[in-house]
Amino acid sequence: MAHLLPKLSYTYDALEPYIDAKTMEIHHSKHHQTYTDKFNAALEKHPELFEKAPQDLLKDTSKIPEDIRQAVINHGGGYVNHNLFWEFLRPGQENNTPQGALLEAINKSFTSFENFKTIFTNEASLKFGSGWTWLCKKASEEKLVIISTSNQDSPLSQGLTPIMTIDIWEHAYYLKHQNRRPEYIENWWKVANWAKAEELLKQA
Give the footprint of Fe ion on this chain (CB under 5 A): 167, 169
- Cβ proximity to Fe ion: between 138 and 176 the closer is 176
- Cβ proximity to Fe ion: between 32 and 106 the closer is 32
| Minimal distance, residue 13 CB to Fe ion, in Å | 18
| Minimal distance, residue 74 CB to Fe ion, in Å | 12
Task: For residues 56 and 53, give the distance between their C-alpha atoms in angstroms, rounded to a whole number.
Answer: 5
| Minimal distance, residue 85 CB to Fe ion, in Å | 7
| Minimal distance, residue 123 CB to Fe ion, in Å | 17
Task: For residues 66 and 159, give the distance between their C-alpha atoms in angstroms, rounded to a whole number.
Answer: 20
Query: DSSP secondary-structure letter at 192?
Result: B
- Cβ proximity to Fe ion: between 26 and 204 the closer is 26
Which stretches within the chain are classed as H helix? 21-26, 33-43, 54-59, 66-71, 77-87, 100-110, 113-126, 174-177, 181-189, 194-203
In the β-sheet with 144-150, what is the strand arrangement from edge to edge?
Answer: 144-150, 131-138, 160-167
- Cβ proximity to Fe ion: between 170 and 186 the closer is 170
Task: For residues 118 and 112, give the distance between their C-alpha atoms in angstroms, rounded to a whole number.
Answer: 10
